[in-house]
Amino acid sequence: MSEVNNASPNRFGQSSREVSIWQRDELLLVLKSTDRCLPLEDIAKFVYFLEDVLPSDKVVKFLGIPSISRQLGQMIKSGLVEKKSSCYRITEKGLKFAEEAELSIEQDEEIDQVWHATRDILSNLPVSRLKWDSYLDTAFRQLESETQAPNEVQ
């Protein structure tokens, strides 16, 4: 009986079994990987990058910056993220949740492969923010060719 409940569609039209990465986990993974205090716009850029490279049926995508902002607000209240001025940083408690999310990702080989490549990309961001767009574009093209573009619409 619990299997039926686990496989029932959620409010996003996906079964709980299909989804491997939830919005909170996306944010925690991005913040952990970059290991920086980031403004909302940069977080959104990295989250959209992550959502673009992951198989679309395995992730609950954000519906824009307001939804990212709301999720960050909830995470601040939960102690997973802290806000300093206009930047957000993961807390020790958030790091533990991010590590749990990574363990969960390892259960899905397809996502695990893409996540490891994405984590390496985010952890090696150039120091200069001016170089981020070209760095991410190049990395996305490389990832896309390595993973055979799992999100392309047929």
Beta strands (DSSP E) in the chain are 38-39, 81-84, 87-90
Residues of the chain with pLDDT under 50: 1-16, 149-154
129 falls within a domain: yes
The total domain count for the chain is: 1
pTM of the model: 0.80
82 bridge partner residues = 89
Q: In what order do the strands lie in the sheet with 87-90?
A: 38-39, 87-90, 81-84
106 falls within a domain: yes
42 falls within a domain: yes
Burial class (CB in 10 A: 0-12, 13-18, 19+), 140: middle
123 falls within a domain: yes
Residue 28 and residue 97 in contact, taking contact as beta carbons nearer than 8 Å:
yes
CA distance 125 to 122: 5
138 falls within a domain: no
Residue burial 57-81, b: 16+ Cβ < 10 Å; e: rest: ebbbbbeeeeebeebbeebeeeebb
Question: What is the residue range of 56's domain?
Answer: 18-133
How many beta carbons lie within 10 A of that of residue 109, not counting itself? 9
66 falls within a domain: yes
Q: What average pLDDT does the chain have?
A: 84
71 falls within a domain: yes
CATH number at residue 39: 1.10.10.10
Residue keyed to tokens 């949740």: 97
151 falls within a domain: no
Residue type, 11: R
**Confidence (pLDDT) at 17:** 52
Write out pLDDT tens, residues 19-56: 678 999 999 999 999 999 999 999 999 999 999 888 88
